[in-house]
Amino acid sequence: MSIEINRVVEFTRQNSGRHFLDSGDHYGRVYDTPAPESKFRVDGDDGQVYLTVTGLLAEHATVREDVQALLDAAWGSGKRGESTSFTTPDGVEHDATDLDNFSIGPVVMEALGYECKARDNTYNGETDLDQEFVWEVWTPVDSDSDDWIWDEDAVILIYAHTGCDVRGGYATPIAVQFEDCGYSIPTHFVVDFRAADDATEEWLDRHHNEDEFSQGYTSNPQYHLQESVGEFVSHNPEAQTLTFKNPHEGEGEPETVTFGYDFWV
């Protein structure tokens, strides 16, 4: 399961133009920044790990090509006044002229016989994402599933935030499924941290819990880790590890502790 990263970038770096709520002329816009080439980006100054939306989708999602083709047809070139339409499998042509980026999703999905069961913006929760996005869960109206979170036929629409201010500047939707997730959509978007060597494992045994810096233990593992270790020392991108000074002193205490990081759906 994966999507070519260049295809994901078409959405995560889509030029969403200017929004009246944007202060992008001062702070810059996401679509003007370099596209990530992997699932993680690490700040070299403090060791902050970011989960990239580009890498997340590229590695863990697949595009629902049949749905995406209709979304693309409905959007066209995105120019106002352009005549656009899409044709559903039953042969019915649907006019989509002048629909905005947040309208083409519902119009297409409802025409296909889906209903929206959940919708949110990642901005509203604790995440380690490098950019925000709006997500919608669409399930067939005749679904046999008791709960949308378990529905294997659910289609997820992702509207990546590519502007500046989170109140505006969103891309058109990419229609995906997370087939290796166990849920219709990941239930968290945070990075997990585990001891990377024996010395750090022993340190955890003395001062913490082996699962203390994982999403099963806390809603914000990275913040919890940063509150528990000393100054950031180094990052090893090949091993995917971070090293920090040990804030504890005494016999048997190592000078540093090292943690591996990853994202588990």
Letter string b/e over residues 121-131, b meaning 16 or more CB atoms within 10 A of that residue's CB: ebeeeebbbbb
Residue 24 has a pLDDT of: 67
Decide if 3 contacts 151 (C-beta within 8 A).
Answer: no
* 27 neighbors 105 (Cβ within 8 angstroms): no
Q: pLDDT tens, position by position, for the chain (265 residues)?
A: 578 999 999 999 999 988 777 776 667 899 999 999 999 999 999 999 999 999 999 999 999 999 999 999 999 998 888 999 999 999 999 999 999 999 999 999 999 999 999 999 999 999 999 999 999 999 999 999 989 999 999 999 999 999 998 999 999 999 999 988 889 999 999 999 999 999 999 999 999 988 999 998 999 999 999 999 999 999 999 999 999 999 999 999 999 999 999 998 8
Let me know: does 173 contact 71? Beta carbons within 8 Å.
yes
Cα–Cα distance measured from residue 11 to residue 137, given in angstroms and rounded to the nearest whole number: 18
Residue 28 is predicted with a pLDDT of: 84
- What residue segments make up the domains of the chain, in order of their start? 5-177, 192-262
Match 């990853």 to its residue by tokens.
Answer: 262
Alpha-carbon gap, residue 123 to 145, rounded angstroms: 28
Q: How far apart are CA 146 and CA 133, in angstroms?
A: 26
Rounded Cα distance between 125 and 186, Å, is 13
pLDDT of res. 172: 97
Are the beta carbons of 133 and 159 closer than 8 angstroms? yes
User: Which amino acid, residue 71?
Assistant: L
Which residue has 């070519």 as its token pair?
4
Angle at 190 between CA 148 and CA 226, to 5 degrees: 155
161 secondary structure, DSSP code: B
The pLDDT of residue 2 is 77
Q: Which of 123, 132, 131, 163 is nearest to 24 (CA)?
A: 163
CB of 88 within 8 A of CB of 70? yes
Helix residue spans in 22-122 (DSSP H): 24-27, 53-60, 65-75, 104-111
pLDDT, position 78: 87
* 223-229: long-range contacts, CB 8 A cutoff, minimum separation 24: 225/193, 225/259, 229/257
Q: What is the pTM of this model?
A: 0.94
